[in-house]
A and B are shown apart, each in its own frame.
Chain A
């Protein structure tokens, strides 16, 4: 069942096209990673999903309802955490958490106490005294304390320490186990790799890659280090082999994942004494996409 459905979403600010025909789909129980460089359009997309900005073209529906027209109805079952949490300096953290839970119309307040303890927040302090990380905790506690069905998290851990980041990941996992869905925009790729079932990469207002992590890995290259008894002179002429480097009697290179089989068959003739391979990381993928190489090479 699809929770979020975005099709051909376009947003223009005057002449500038911020989003150019975005498509996204998040299903029930899915944790969906939404990654891309700064200014790519992640936050603009999320603001349209929240009904705070209006799309120029295309549609965005959550729970089958229109994100702009039915915003209030949708928000009863949504929890959102922004990357930059702006709070009222003269209210305490506890007051803001209560306000947020109440405005989301959640009845269940039992998790409030538990989460304040887990995230180690002092709710009696005024928000002006909170650091970035503590303001984020306030938003996270309010989000996970309410019984939402869909969590929209926009770089929610950018100010948290590693310990708190772990607790955040636990919270996301627990939500997933309960069958909730999550849209997670993040720059911390290890986090996305750990939590997400599917990923979309956005660049300059366009989705340039979408799919499960496994599917995306197919599009990238495996790094290899080999040592052989005989010189392998023609390696560079093989299809799908890139970046050959020779040092310390070893050969370092990358292979396009779909050419792996051919290359292994070929090099096996030369008396391999050492073979190491490293799977593509999301980081490699990310870097290649961000630098804009992918379109040129595939």
Chain B
């Protein structure tokens, strides 16, 4: 029996060594985020009245779908509010961490042939899976303890030691559960890609089932591990049973994964990979068709994702007025203009943030060409009768066209949720106008990417830095009172703030021209340089 697990210790240490940077980054980011929010919230809502306004907002079903059921709303203190705000989303982040780290050392190592080499050494057949889960248990325990310690040390009245420990333990339990479930999918499916697919689908379905269950049917929520963990009611009732149930569930899933691992061949899975097309569809047979096909899943998910993101922002618009009045911090963040109400002012900032987030997929579509080059696949097209212009054009076109579609999606999402929750609904026209006014700024980001692909392909990562900078100065600029020029060196700082400002055609024209110039320059560069692969 023991020989099934031979060398597990050595393998565990090698996993720690391989992830010695990755693991601390995950833990530190998650803990920092949690502790920072916990530290800032009491200042944002310093009086009982403000918190009570927030508690009213929390009764909104749209919020329940997003964050989970409110509890302790009668006496809404810092701890309850913090847990309510953060637990589900942090649990999602911990789930993502566990999924990604687990896949790396199980199915990915197996697909790349590394486990085959390991198995040729005196190593037990179950050792890699066991070592991976072992490390994930340790990682999640460390995460739980540091989180608990961090929250407790903030020394807030409503956040006691027991509650803080439970908060950390809830996150840790979810992390361990998703490590084992990913370990299970790594046995079931026969390749990395579908292991990622199954694990993330499980995470998303768990989130959705919880959302629906929290509004419609309590029992449904309990099926979802994310719904279950919210039943801890941290900082109010401090129930520990959901944590133990989650851990118990993890043990069973892990045993099942070990059993499946023991009866299968290396490299095989249980869900058969279905045979693909023997012939290509007509649609695939061009650089544009290929590019669309390669990015199909990404494009569909981001388009839907932006709709959902728009909806989630829209769902809070109803209670916005009350919320904004009570939040001094947000009042500082949005542009000051007395002739417009707070909601309208908030929307201008919201649209800019949605646009910057919407620029992420748009940039991904065009930068995909660079990652294709790095993977030596551009040559596959260039050695055929395909011009460089044709290839670059395919990727640029997808990015340029997807920008208005993405903007439309966030606006539609925002608006469709807003009609349900707002008494005085904002007109769709104004929202559309505001959304599309950001297009030239997004196109400039595309232009910058094309320019770098053409001239300095090694530095295409700069576009992300620039986008991150834009987000930072727009989102926090007003509050931190950054100098004017800092917002003016991002294209998003030049977009007219509709409905507060008028649509400035001249402004939009100049931004568009800059985008076009950058794109043309990029094409010239791309035609001149060596292609790496």
Residues of A within 8 A of B377 (CB): 86-88
A54 touches B277 (CB 8 A): no
- B433-457 Cβ-contact flags toward A at 8 Å (1 or 0): 0000000000000000000000000
A100 to B286, CA, bound (A): 9
Asked whether B32 is an interface residue with its Cβ less than 8 Å from the other chain, the reply is no
A246 to B376, CA, bound (A): 54
A76 to B503, CA, bound (A): 49
Asked whether A92 is an interface residue with its Cβ less than 8 Å from the other chain, the reply is yes
Residues of A within 8 A of B278 (CB): 92, 94, 123-124
Asked whether B24 is an interface residue with its Cβ less than 8 Å from the other chain, the reply is no
Q: What's the least CB distance linking A156 to chain B, in Å? A: 13
Residues of A within 8 A of B284 (CB): 91, 95, 98-99
A287 to B426, CA, bound (A): 80
Q: What's the least CB distance linking B509 to chain A, in Å? A: 35
- A29-53 Cβ-contact flags toward B at 8 Å (1 or 0): 0000000000000000001001111
Residues of B within 8 A of A71 (CB): 382, 387
A103 to B385, CA, bound (A): 6
Asked whether B273 is an interface residue with its Cβ less than 8 Å from the other chain, the reply is yes
Asked whether A110 is an interface residue with its Cβ less than 8 Å from the other chain, the reply is no
Q: Given A98-B280, A128-B191: A51 and B382 within 8 A (CB)?
A: yes
Q: What's the least CB distance linking B190 to chain A, in Å? A: 9
Q: What's the least CB distance linking A5 to chain B, in Å? A: 19
Closest to A49 in B: B383
B380 touches A126 (CB 8 A): no
Q: Which of B155-163, B482-490, B525-533 contacts A (4 or more CB under 8 A)?
A: B525-533
Closest to B384 in A: A103
Chain A residues 92 to 138 lying within 8 A of chain B, measured CB to CB, are 92, 94-100, 102-105, 123-126, 128-129
Asked whether B121 is an interface residue with its Cβ less than 8 Å from the other chain, the reply is no
Asked whether B279 is an interface residue with its Cβ less than 8 Å from the other chain, the reply is yes
The dominant DSSP class at the B interface is loop
Residues of A within 8 A of B290 (CB): 88, 99
Q: Given A86-B375, A89-B193: A124 and B275 within 8 A (CB)?
A: yes
B384 touches A75 (CB 8 A): yes
Asked whether A268 is an interface residue with its Cβ less than 8 Å from the other chain, the reply is no
B383 touches A75 (CB 8 A): yes
B280 touches A99 (CB 8 A): yes
Q: Which of B275, B285, B386 sits near A75, CB closer than 8 Å?
A: B386
Chain B residues 374 to 422 lying within 8 A of chain A, measured CB to CB, are 375-377, 379-387
A-B contact count (CB 8 A): 104
Residues of A within 8 A of B385 (CB): 72-73, 75-76, 103-105
B383 touches A126 (CB 8 A): no
A94 touches B277 (CB 8 A): yes
Asked whether B293 is an interface residue with its Cβ less than 8 Å from the other chain, the reply is yes
Q: Given A95-B284, A98-B284, A103-B385: A54 and B530 within 8 A (CB)?
A: yes
A52 touches B382 (CB 8 A): yes
A92 touches B386 (CB 8 A): no
B379 touches A102 (CB 8 A): no
A128 touches B193 (CB 8 A): yes
A94 to B279, CA, bound (A): 5
Q: Which of A77-85, A177-185, A218-226 contacts B (4 or more CB under 8 A)?
A: A77-85
A82 touches B379 (CB 8 A): yes
Asked whether A90 is an interface residue with its Cβ less than 8 Å from the other chain, the reply is yes
A88 to B378, CA, bound (A): 11
Residues of B within 8 A of A123 (CB): 278-279
A78 to B385, CA, bound (A): 9
Residues of B within 8 A of A80 (CB): 383
B193 touches A90 (CB 8 A): yes
B384 touches A126 (CB 8 A): no
Residues of B within 8 A of A73 (CB): 385
A72 touches B530 (CB 8 A): no
B273 touches A95 (CB 8 A): no
Q: What's the least CB distance linking B193 to chain A, in Å? A: 7
Residues of A within 8 A of B381 (CB): 103
Q: Given A87-B377, A92-B277, A98-B279: A53 and B531 within 8 A (CB)?
A: yes
A87 to B379, CA, bound (A): 10
A105 to B387, CA, bound (A): 13
B276 touches A95 (CB 8 A): yes
A122 to B115, CA, bound (A): 26
Q: Which of A78, A94, A104 sits near B280, CB closer than 8 Å?
A: A94
Residues of B within 8 A of A78 (CB): 383
A47 to B386, CA, bound (A): 15
A51 to B378, CA, bound (A): 12
Asked whether B294 is an interface residue with its Cβ less than 8 Å from the other chain, the reply is yes
A92 touches B383 (CB 8 A): no
Q: Given A98-B284, A104-B384: A88 and B294 within 8 A (CB)?
A: yes
Chosen A-B contacts, 16 in total, with CB atoms closer than 8 Å, are A51-B382, A53-B530, A53-B531, A54-B529, A86-B380, A88-B294, A94-B277, A95-B279, A98-B279, A100-B380, A103-B385, A123-B278, A124-B275, A124-B276, A124-B277, A128-B193
Interface residues of B (CB under 8 A from A): 111, 191, 193, 273, 275-280, 284-287, 290, 293-294, 375-377, 379-387, 528-531, 533
Interface residues of A (CB under 8 A from B): 47, 50-54, 71-73, 75-76, 78, 80, 82, 84, 86-92, 94-100, 102-105, 123-126, 128-129
Given contacts A75-B383, A84-B376, A128-B193, 19 further A-B pairs with CB under 8 A are A47-B530, A71-B382, A75-B386, A82-B379, A86-B376, A88-B290, A92-B277, A94-B278, A94-B279, A95-B280, A95-B284, A96-B280, A100-B380, A100-B384, A102-B285, A103-B384, A124-B275, A126-B276, A128-B191
